[in-house]
Amino acid sequence: MGSPEKFEGWLGKTPDSVKGNMTWGEFEPKKWEEDDVDIKISHCGICGSDLHTLRSGWGQTHYPCVVGHEIVGTAVRVGKNVTHIQEGDRVGVGAQARSCGQSDCPECKAGIPQHCLREQVGTYDGVYPNDVGRSFGGYATYNRTNARFVIKIPEGLDSKDAAPMLCGGITIYSPLRQNGCGPGKTVGIVGLGGIGHFGVLFAKALGADRVVAISRRADKRDDALKLGADEYIATGEEKDWVTKHRRTLDFIVSTVSSAKMPLSDYLKLIKVGGSFVQIGAPDNGELPTISAWDLIGGNVKVGGSAIGPPWEIAEMLKLAADKKIKPWIQTRPMKDANTAVVDMDEGKARYRYVLEA
């Protein structure tokens, strides 16, 4: 095995690249270190974050960039210091590529490296410390990532199904776990897109009593119920949904990525003392204003959640393999990444596109 000196991938060079204008070309991965793993990519999911980054929606992107942080493939080169991955293993990488990993870092020590303040490198559009280069994502032939963030894919899980779990899956699995999703809980999932559909699948797999999917369009109702939701609310097309479902949910996880959301109404659906967890990350981070009455009236807590650590990704993949969870994905050839990104932006994915090499 082994890997080439330069990798190739879909380069975004301007904010316009999100409109189907990425170009295929070579790029230089970060300098090799003996803690790294090189992965020959077989699959990469298309996450909402890829679109935000291509168009510089979260601040200026370092162009040229290669996006994609739902990567699965084969380990073809493994650093001497790496013990848990062998050459030939089927492995994956999610949205994080590095944290400081020091024993005196409160977040790394607590097993939540996604909150490390000292060293934070995303799988793409990140700059490594010590001049070792930049991070490039999975719309590409190969990926190079520090082994701490490379996870073995368990048997019994198809690569194309595992790929979108590495960001989309974990981003909602983690807040479900943090909020005690399980028997006795009624859970709301707002935004039935890539991440939201994982929310329904995982909330049911974790044993929630009731799962209520909430999105704008009525034509997603059948899908929501087939995915396992007990109820579906089409906020864009139903009247009286707020009064009908008032104070029925223990907590809500919201994947909505727009400031144009009826946040005050969502908060009214939560039982007294319950929580609202925002994981969707709108361009510029904008959310609607929250009235103090929305919080005080129902003693509601508002919070957020960021991806999830490698140990929790492994836990989620095991649950998915054990319970035979099948995400709803559509594979697209890697060569068609541009049209797949445009389709994703138009909300056509049902519910995740996965690029296949």
Closest CA to 306 of 99, 148, 145: 99
Q: Which CB, 76 or 306, lies closer to ligand NAP?
A: 306
The two tokens of residue 14 are 């301007």
Q: Which CB, 78 or 355, lies closer to Zn ion?
A: 355
Q: x/- site string to ligand NAP, residues 223 to 262, per CB under 6 A?
A: --------------------------------xxxx-xx-
Q: Which CB, 81 or 258, lies closer to ligand NAP?
A: 258
Helix, strand or coil for residue 355? strand
- Helix ranges, 80-154 (H): 106-109
Among 220, 221, 268, 332, binds ligand NAP (CB under 6 A): 220
The answer to the question of residue 167 lying near ligand NAP (CB under 6 A) is yes
Window 10-49: residues binding ligand NAP (CB under 6 A) = 47-49
Q: x/- site string to ligand NAP, residues 304 to 343, per CB under 6 A?
A: -xxx------------------------------------
The answer to the question of residue 195 lying near ligand NAP (CB under 6 A) is yes
Contact indicator for 42, 73 with CB cutoff of 8 Å: yes
DSSP 113: G
Q: What is the number of helices (H) and of strands (E) in the chain? A: 11, 17
Cα–Cα distance measured from residue 133 to residue 130, given in angstroms and rounded to the nearest whole number: 8
The answer to the question of residue 255 lying near Zn ion (CB under 5 A) is no
Cβ atoms within 10 Å of 345's Cβ, excluding its own = 18
Contact indicator for 127, 154 with CB cutoff of 8 Å: no
Q: x/- site string to ligand NAP, residues 107 to 146, per CB under 6 A?
A: ----------------------------------------
Q: Least distance (Å) from Zn ion to the CB of residue 80?
A: 31
> Nearest 5 degrees, angle CA 268-CA 191-CA 22?
145
Q: Which CB, 92 or 196, lies closer to ligand NAP?
A: 196
Q: Which does 143 bind (CB under 5 to 8 A by kind): Zn ion, ligand NAP, none?
A: none
Beta carbons within 8 Å of 301's beta carbon, 6+ residues apart: 273, 274, 275, 276
Virtual CA dihedral for 296, 171, 333, 8, nearest 10 degrees? 120
The answer to the question of residue 171 lying near ligand NAP (CB under 6 A) is yes
Residues in the chain: 357
The answer to the question of residue 278 lying near Zn ion (CB under 5 A) is no
The two tokens of residue 328 are 């709803």
Piece of the chain touching Zn ion by CB under 5 A; list 23-31, 117-125, 162-170, 298-306: 162-170
Query: What's the helix, strand, coil split of the chain in %, to 5?
Result: 30, 25, 40
In whole angstroms, how large is the CA radius of gyration of the chain?
20
Backbone φ and ψ for 98, nearest 5 degrees, come out as -165, 145
Q: Least distance (Å) from Zn ion to the CB of residue 53?
A: 9
DSSP 7: E
Piece of the chain touching ligand NAP by CB under 6 A; list 30-38, 143-151, 164-172, 225-233: 164-172
Helix axes 194-205, 310-322, angle to 10 degrees: 70
The answer to the question of residue 51 lying near Zn ion (CB under 5 A) is no
Q: How many residues bind Zn ion (CB under 5 A)?
A: 3
Beta carbons within 8 Å of 222's beta carbon, 6+ residues apart: none
The two tokens of residue 179 are 């909020």
Q: Least distance (Å) from ligand NAP to the CB of residue 25?
A: 25
Among 68, 73, 191, 310, binds ligand NAP (CB under 6 A): 191
The answer to the question of residue 167 lying near Zn ion (CB under 5 A) is yes
Q: Least distance (Å) from Zn ion to the CB of residue 345?
A: 15
The answer to the question of residue 279 lying near ligand NAP (CB under 6 A) is yes
Q: Rule CB under 6 A: which residues touch ligand NAP?
A: 47-49, 52, 167-168, 171, 191-196, 215-217, 220, 255-258, 260-261, 279-281, 305-307, 347, 349
Q: Rule CB under 5 A: which residues touch Zn ion?
A: 47, 49, 167
